[in-house]
Structure 1
Amino acid sequence: MMKWFAAVLGFFVYRFPGAVIGFLIGSFIENLSKGSNSTSGRGGSIFGEVKPQKVSPEDFELQLLSLCSIVIKADGSVSPSEMAYVQQYFVGTYGKEKANAIFRTFNEVVKKNEISAQKVCSYLNQRTRYEVRLQLLHFLFGIAQADGQVRASEIDKIREIATYFRVSMIDFESIKAMFIKSADNAYKILEIEKSATDSEVKKAYRDMAKKYHPDRVNTENEAIKKGAEEKFKEVQKAYETIQKERGSL
């Protein structure tokens, strides 16, 4: 409707040339509005995301394993507990037979000296939704925490990956807060300040519950679906923590 309104308005002002210019301007505004409405999460582009290309499950798993190896080697060593975390995660998700086949590939990936996080993320950006990339960050933090401590070098590496994924820093901090405990964690997870009013807390919870709902992930990959459920529970837990703290929600 905007493009036709602008065309009519342009016609009255500058006759036919004005109608053409008005139509073009109106079309641009409409496309911009559609792009803004289709943005996924708070960190998407205002022009919206290009519809993801298809990716085979095997190819997706290989890219995921590449990211896992980058985080595992971020502190300069390969932790057995972090390797075990990845293996157990895939066993619990895919079953022992398929998981063992995937893990054999993983062992080969880990041995590689150079894996470009930027290239892997660029590949996945074209083939996954924003919500899936949020879940991938959640999974990577789970690996970093597997040995009982998320080190600064691991946080830096995951932050770098988040940047390549074009994930907003507020979303990154929200996911990080699910793994690194602090007094204000619940508020960070809901992406609000501790000074937020009760109504603002409720609205933030509703918004986050929508953004992190497992249905939003929209992927066939079982590992990502399972992780999305865990992240959704963290959002619920954060809200319950604030409820208990305030006793007024």
Structure 2
Amino acid sequence: MIKWMAALLGYFLFRFPGAILGFLVGSFLDNAGGSNRGARTVFEDFTRQSVSPADFELNLLSLCSIIIKADGQVNQRELDYVRQYFLSTYGKEKANAIFRTFNEVIKKREISAQRICTYLVQRTRYEVRLQLLHFLFGIASSDGQVSKAEASKLKEIAGYLRVGQYDFESIMAMFIKSADNAYKILEIERSATDDEVKKAYRKMAKKYHPDRVVTENEAIRKGAEEKFKEVQKAYETIQKERGIS
């Protein structure tokens, strides 16, 4: 409500530029006033206002079930990974209620990944979709490896989420090891020059630096720190390999 009043006042004072400024200031005040509305999900800070937490959770659960069933079997370690996420985010009571819903979701024979992702693309920012893809990779790798079927499904979901190829390969390289892993994480080719390596590292370090994640949510901060450490490790690997100072 405050943002619209501030926008109207700004318009009367400074016309259209004033309306924009008033809306931004009012939005900040609205958010500040609602900062005690209860626990937020690991992804909620990045969602747009057109998707409710309940809707987002249901779609998240559906994507989790798709990954868990991707290789034709339901692995207990993958189920435990999802359960632990909800326990750390919501606490035991609500997490158990959510997981009961999850058990119903996972029993469904067909869930349309494309439909879910289309819904999320329209209602979430790119940052949350990167975080979401990272979370899904975490589920797939929680049993010790990402199977070919899981990797294929994750690539399909990334396409539906409109995650860029380089971003997808960078996240995948954090979970699936290969000879060119470090280069993939930095989103460059092995043929890149030393200067290009340094430039790529600075770009990725800035992209995934925890300081860029302005949030009170501990889970989001941990996710950003994890990615940042992987970027650092990748650069140190290439430094050692090439003797870059």
Give distance in 1, aligned partners of 2:162 and 2:213.
16
Q: State how far apart, in whole Å, the 2-side matches of 1:71 and 1:57 are.
A: 21
Quick check: 1:136–1:224 contact (8 Å CA) kept in 2?
A: no
| 1:158-173 pair list within 5 angstroms | 158-173=154-169
Correspondence for 1:150: 146
- Helix, strand or coil at the partner of 2:123: coil
1:92-117 deviation line (CA, Å, top 9, x unaligned): 33333332222222111111111110
Amino acid at match of 2:129: R
Listed one character per residue, the Cα deviations across residues 99-149 of structure 1 (whole Å, up to 9, x for unaligned) are 222222211111111111011101110111112111111111111111112
* Residue 75, structure 1, aligned to residue 43, structure 2: no
2:132 paired residue number: 136
Q: Which amino acid aligns with 1:190?
A: L
Partner of 1:65: 61
For residues 1-249 of structure 1, the aligned pairs below 5 Å read: 52-214=48-210, 223-249=219-245
Secondary structure at the aligned position of 2:81 is classed as helix
Distance 1:86 1:209, change over 3 A: same
The DSSP-based 3-state class of the residue aligned with 1:231 is: helix
User: 1:206: Cα distance to partner?
Assistant: 1.5
When the two chains are superposed, the root-mean-square deviation of aligned CA atoms in Å is 2.2
Max radius of gyration: which structure?
Answer: 1
Amino acid at match of 1:64: L
Cα distance in 1, alignment partners of residues 221 and 58 from structure 2: 17
Q: Report how many aligned residue pairs link the two structures.
A: 199
**In structure 2, do the counterparts of structure 1 residues 237 and 101 end up closer, same or farther at CA, with 3 Å as the change threshold?**
farther
Query: Which amino acid in structure 2 is aligned with residue 94 of structure 1?
Result: Y
Structure 1 residues 192-201 or 67-76, which shifts more?
A: 192-201
Task: Please state how far the C-alpha of 1:241 moved relative to its aligned partner.
Answer: 1.8
Instruction: Give the distance between the partners of 1:68 and 1:233, measured in 2 at CA.
Output: 25
Task: Go from structure 1 to structure 2 and tell me whether the alpha carbon gap of 1:229 and 1:57 turns closer, same or farther (over 3 Å shift).
Answer: farther
Measured in 2, the distance between the counterparts of 1:54 and 1:190 equals 33
Q: Distance in 1 between matches of 2:197 and 2:181?
A: 14
CA distance in 2 between partners of 1:69 and 1:155 (Å): 15
Superposition TM-score, scaled by structure 1 size: 0.73
1:190-209 deviations in Å (ceiling 9; x for gaps): 01112222221111112112
Shift of 1:223: 4.6
Structure-2 separation of matches of 1:136 and 1:118: 15
For normalisation by structure 2, the TM-score amounts to 0.74
